[in-house]
């Protein structure tokens, strides 16, 4: 006790917080709850269950290093009861060399949601060639619950190897829904979506909308960085888009309008702190979880034990927020 008091005296002047630093989003209620007891409260999501509201967003696949990363992420999803989206599975249609990088169901287990992933350009080609059944085959082979279709027209426009879309993505999504048995999630890849795109998707029978909002990894910027021939004229396209908070507000407005079919949201893109994610899930008028890509990837590049510590800290922090914070 004496040592603790000495530490308090030593650190007291450095531990002050100004009024300007106060988080205006929450009421802090210290009287109404005991400390969390660590018990898990599973909840339904995407027809399965999750133990915690953290989604491992689609990242990478098709290289030796990516395979090792995905194994760690899948193992963590199974251990902690999280949902997971694979990186792009396009390579599986082009080569048989990478299936083991994606066959991760045994690590996750059958209880938690696990989704394959394809780009809108690949979907357009499958539909054009009348090969949409390959998506169902992909899910059967990987034992995934469905497919994430990522929408990335700006990334494709600036990618040196990019594909040019011939049709509006919304038309391809609608055609796919008419042909596949697999649940479909639709997401952007770092710039989010505006009101009309969100409205169109929420009125479709997709399993969930994932934001992929502005503020996290920006693949338009990434592709521009890969090129030495790009004009500075195009640089401003990297700042176009919508934040996760803005998109949450748009979802809420569309829900109030009624007549929606999509009833689940993965809030991802630019979530800088756990309380940012907590706040957005609490104000969202549809059931929502927090999707993170680079945060999980950062720890998956290290030892598995460090990834475990990161997730445990996320779980503990979320439970503290649920115990003592109320959204204003």
E strands, the chain, where? 26-28, 43-45, 48-50, 54-56, 83-85, 114-119, 146-151, 184-188, 208-210, 265-268, 288-292, 325-327
Element (H, E) at 93: helix 91-94
> Considering the chain, what is the average pLDDT of its residues?
91
* Residue 133 contacts residue 101 (beta carbons within 8 Å): no
Q: Tell me: the pLDDT tens digits for 37-94?
A: 999 999 999 999 999 999 999 876 555 577 889 999 999 999 999 999 999 999 999 8
Contact indicator for 167, 137 with CB cutoff of 8 Å? no
Mean pLDDT score, 128-138:
96
**Other C-beta atoms within 10 Å of 175: how many?**
15
pLDDT exceeds 80 at position 218: no
**For range 288-292, the mean pLDDT:** 96
Tens digit of pLDDT for each residue in 162-172? 789 999 999 99
List of domains in the chain: 47-327 (3.20.20.70)
More confident residue, 228 or 201: 201
């Amino acid at each position: 006790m004496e040592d603790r008091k000495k530490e308090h005296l030593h650190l007291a002047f450095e531990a002050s917080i100004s009024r300007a630093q106060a988080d205006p989003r929450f009421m802090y209620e210290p009287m109404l709850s005991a400390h969390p007891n660590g018990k898990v409260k599973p909840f339904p999501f995407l027809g399965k269950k999750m133990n915690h509201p953290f989604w491992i967003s689609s990242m990478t696949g098709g290289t030796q290093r990516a395979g090792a990363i995905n194994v760690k992420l899948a193992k963590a999803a199974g251990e902690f009861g999280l949902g997971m989206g694979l990186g792009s599975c396009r390579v599986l249609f082009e080569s048989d060399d990478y299936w083991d990088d994606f066959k991760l169901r045994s690590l996750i287990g059958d209880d938690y949601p696990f989704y394959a992933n394809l780009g809108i350009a690949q979907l357009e080609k499958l539909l054009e060639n009348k090969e949409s059944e390959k998506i169902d085959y992909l899910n059967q082979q990987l034992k995934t619950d469905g497919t994430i279709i990522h929408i990335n027209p700006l990334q494709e426009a600036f990618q040196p190897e990019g594909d040019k879309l011939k049709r509006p993505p919304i038309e391809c999504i609608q055609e796919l829904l008419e042909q596949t048995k697999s649940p479909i999630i639709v997401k952007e890849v770092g710039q989010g979506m505006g009101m009309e795109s969100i409205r169109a998707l929420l009125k479709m029978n997709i399993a969930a909308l994932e934001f992929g909002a502005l503020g996290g990894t920006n693949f338009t910027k990434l592709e521009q960085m890969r090129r030495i021939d790009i004009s500075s004229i195009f640089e401003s396209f990297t700042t176009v888009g919508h934040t996760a908070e803005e998109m949450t507000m748009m979802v809420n407005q569309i829900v109030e309008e009624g007549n929606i079919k999509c009833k689940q949201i993965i809030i991802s893109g630019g979530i800088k702190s756990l309380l940012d994610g907590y706040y957005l899930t609490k104000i969202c008028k549809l059931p929502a979880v927090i999707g993170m890509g680079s945060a999980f990837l950062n720890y998956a590049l290290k030892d598995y034990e460090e990834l475990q510590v990161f997730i445990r800290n996320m779980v503990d922090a979320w439970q503290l927020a649920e115990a003592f914070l109320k959204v204003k």
